[in-house]
Structure 1
């Protein structure tokens, strides 16, 4: 089968989405399918990669978004889709690419929309009035335009569930358990950012409003005020960089910038004492899962999807500096061998093999469900469906009732 995937808002700095696209594409290729990815970029390109064919269409950057680009020309993209003649399309942008569901339906092509964010949550971050009503209207249109809606957590699926959407599937993402491993810890990396006796805290994400990096900075201030010798590394870049520099002027905060080398990211995560993920609208949080795979516990925002991802390998707290500071202290009270072993054990419940299998089954390209250890349950609007694998806290569920 030829699976053509489309995604906007993909740059060299978009860690989570870029990682998911790459690993899913590689998995489709291994499963014997032909994967094609179409993304925006500076100029046109067409290359073969480990994740299949990658086509870049020239697109203009969106102002004040940190370099994001969007394929806005429907005519060019329609012509390209017609030329590619896909058997299935998989879309990772329900804002500007929702129209492709109609294109697929007109041509008898199977379609799937992957919801990588909470629309209601993002509208709230942007200060939109009546966000729930607007999100409901847009989500209903998305569900009507596509054969299948895929969400990676129950948190992400909740805004579709409350609408009784019948074509909803939950599939958790995965983590590279070899690339992200406790053995990646590096004393030289740690000494670059923290002196002996200091507590190394890492924030690894875009420096954007939705990720709440200022909360990580303020948590360090709270820890220092409580005489905890904590230092913070901000690994990422974005529109909030300058404002954060002013905010952290008198604090031990190091700006590492965007780290393109994944081995270097793994070394930083594995060398940290604690990773913080303060974003309130995270719908999966690959960086947090990568930290766990490195044996490093995580403090997360209780308003996000991350509590269901991290389980007991971290702590979920309210979105305040004091709460995050308390969360860091709570984790540090656990013996280091215990907290690191629990973190790694939790990450091992997730794999890209399971994620690929789940996505292929959502496409109707069923692999051996027993091999994935997951169950599929058809939605009945009045039913309450639970994950099929209790130890992960995340299963593969087609549909789901309210709750």
Structure 2
């Protein structure tokens, strides 16, 4: 597996680390449990980690030298695809298949697949054309360079794994992917970590939260695409509708700033709207601690403008917490509307506020939805995801064997990728 711009070892919710990091780690573990050995290659950032880290039996994280050994913005990553790929090709040749994650890794995957003569399976996680269609006001669109790069990877991958049927449709209609090469594999949830545990009251006691508070939780990266501003505006509308709720309303925002987000922007918006007193900002936390935040909440709010799947929604439901989410991307798959949570079409803060008020005033509904949420999330395990992924791998290998070692065509030589050179095309 390839992940050029972010390491599987990074804390989700910080920088560029998020659901994709969780996906790679959990899928690799589940694959290993079914007899598949996985090497996860990522860029060495000089964090004092050894070149090879045994994540657990059958799963290794391997760091490759590519560019400066320090953290770099994602905008600098295209320039490092070629050196990363060259370092990768120097590694052992005993791999049966390459599985790339995100478009930058897909570019490196094209090279490795051709150099080693093995199939390339690609998971996009997010797509530029989809993101650009759902930008927040003032957010920066994904560049043409990425769009062209995604088209190249889609055209050359042996198989494409989509999280949902909607993502599969986007690959076909927006990127021209052949239907026969697109497989839908739903992500899973770690049901050992994310479970109701000893309940809401105990979780609140551990986190120091009031037992009688109404707690809508935001958990994830703080960036315009994820819609934290929608939640803040919804909280302001909620308090206009029900001023008496202020005395028991607490809104934790657990996550780190990422991408185009401006440090402190959520806090400034909350102060401007007069709701800073009910917000509580917290840093990203390890998975076990995050499970306590889910258990402690009355509802998880996911107002994303675009979301390939929304693993946080699945994790919260596994802990017994209903979800209020935008009806975008994979969230309608992750959340059973009206049963394990509520979906909102659009991003009108008033629409979110009305549903929050209804949930605040109906604790029995929250409890019933929480019970349904546990059952719903329980149907989506990483073991099932791994089993389906192995089917895709085996089919890709079998089809490659049938046609010999040749590909549809070799990647064409070209200039190195660069954000600064918008006329450049992908390497090799």
Give the TM interval when normalised to the shorter protein.
0.7 to 0.9
Residues 1:205 and 2:220 aligned together: yes
Partner of residue 77, structure 1: 85
Mapped contact 1:203–1:277 kept (Cα < 8 A): yes
Shift of residue 7 of structure 1?
Answer: 4.3
Shift of residue 136 of structure 1?
Answer: 7.0
Structure 1 residues 255-292: Cα deviation after superposition (integer angstroms, max 9, x where no partner): 111112x2211111011101000112111111110000
Partner of residue 371, structure 1: none
Which 10-residue stretch deviates more, 349-358 or 316-325? 316-325
Give distance in 2, aligned partners of 1:277 and 1:81: 40
Partner of residue 156, structure 1: 167
Alpha-carbon distance change, 45 to 154 in structure 1, aligned in 2, over 3 angstroms = same
Q: Which has the higher contact order (CA 8 A, sep 6+)?
A: 2
Shift of residue 224 of structure 1?
Answer: 1.4
3-state SS of paired residue (1:157): helix
Shift of residue 194 of structure 1?
Answer: 4.5
4+ runs of 1 displaced by more than 4 Å?
68-71, 133-139, 191-194
Partner of residue 122, structure 2: 113
Alpha-carbon distance change, 356 to 64 in structure 1, aligned in 2, over 3 angstroms = closer
Partner of residue 62, structure 1: 72
Give distance in 1, aligned partners of 2:214 and 2:321: 13
3-state SS of paired residue (1:183): coil
Please list, as runs of the form range in 1=range in 2, the aligned pairs for 1:153-192 lying within 5 A after superposition: 153-162=164-173, 163-166=176-179, 167-187=181-201, 189-190=203-204, 192=207
Give distance in 2, aligned partners of 1:336 and 1:99: 46
Report the TM-score when normalising by structure 2: 0.76
Q: CA RMSD in A?
A: 2.7
Please identify which structure carries the higher strand content.
1
Mapped contact 2:3–2:105 kept (Cα < 8 A): no
Partner of residue 267, structure 2: 245
Please identify which structure carries the higher helix content.
2
Give distance in 2, aligned partners of 1:15 and 1:140: 24
Please list, as runs of the form range in 1=range in 2, the aligned pairs for 1:6-45 lying within 5 A after superposition: 6-10=3-7, 11-12=10-11, 13=14, 14-43=17-46, 45=51
Alpha-carbon distance change, 118 to 194 in structure 1, aligned in 2, over 3 angstroms = same
Mapped contact 2:64–2:87 kept (Cα < 8 A): no
Residues 1:145 and 2:187 aligned together: no
Mapped contact 2:30–2:383 kept (Cα < 8 A): yes
Give distance in 1, aligned partners of 2:145 and 2:42: 27
Alpha-carbon distance change, 32 to 288 in structure 1, aligned in 2, over 3 angstroms = same
Mapped contact 2:2–2:109 kept (Cα < 8 A): no
Partner of residue 413, structure 2: none
Give distance in 1, aligned partners of 2:232 and 2:209: 16
What is the total number of aligned residue pairs between the two structures? Answer: 358
Shift of residue 98 of structure 1?
Answer: 1.8
